[in-house]
Amino acid sequence: MAIEIITAMLAKKGLSLLAGAVDGAGDKAISWIEEKTGINLGGHDGPPEFTSEQLMALHQLESDERVELKRLALEKYKEGNRHAESTFALEADDRADAREMYTKGGKEMQDRLIDWVFKFTSFIIPALLLADVLLVVAAKIWGIDATICAAIGTLIGVCLGRFGDERKTILEYAFGGSASNDRLHEDKAKT
């Protein structure tokens, strides 16, 4: 039977911790509940009908095993976090490798790129801010439509955000602003 049906049926009976556990851990939680109570949750064509004794047993299980049920409910979130952790680790390793290459290899190209980004953003960020102010003034003087002003203002805001992010990324790369940089320095200190 589908886990969603069992989850909905348990929630409808007021067994929210059991429903959360089934939603979080799926078949693992169903097997655990069946083992603890002797009640067959998944062997029916439709939602099972519980006797009053079975409902009492399920309520008793819910009150006795609150911690375990909450742990089971968090199972699906752990899986999502594992993916996020592995993605973060890959990105951190990539940055560490790039910094290592920068310190070992030719720094000329990287230094030129860093200088260019800082010079370009030092010019373009104030220019975009000025353009935004001039847009507001022009809208007042010439009565430009508000939707056009809003669209242009949004575009300017997006560009400012992108250039600010680029500058921040370069700063983090050059001067270390991430966990990978801390790990790189720890590794160098050990050797």
Q: What is the pLDDT of residue 21?
A: 82
Q: Please tell me the pTM assigned to this model.
A: 0.41
128/61: higher pLDDT:
128
What's the pLDDT tens digit per position in 84-97? 667 777 776 766 66
Q: What is the pLDDT of residue 183?
A: 52
Quick one: 108 exposed, middle or buried, by C-beta within 10 A (0-12, 13-18, 19+)? exposed
What pLDDT is attached to residue 23? 81
For residue 180, what pLDDT is reported?
47
**Domain residue spans of the chain:** 3-73, 106-190
Q: What is the pLDDT of residue 130?
A: 94
The tens digit of pLDDT for each residue in 122-165 reads 899 999 999 999 998 988 898 888 888 889 989 999 999 999 88
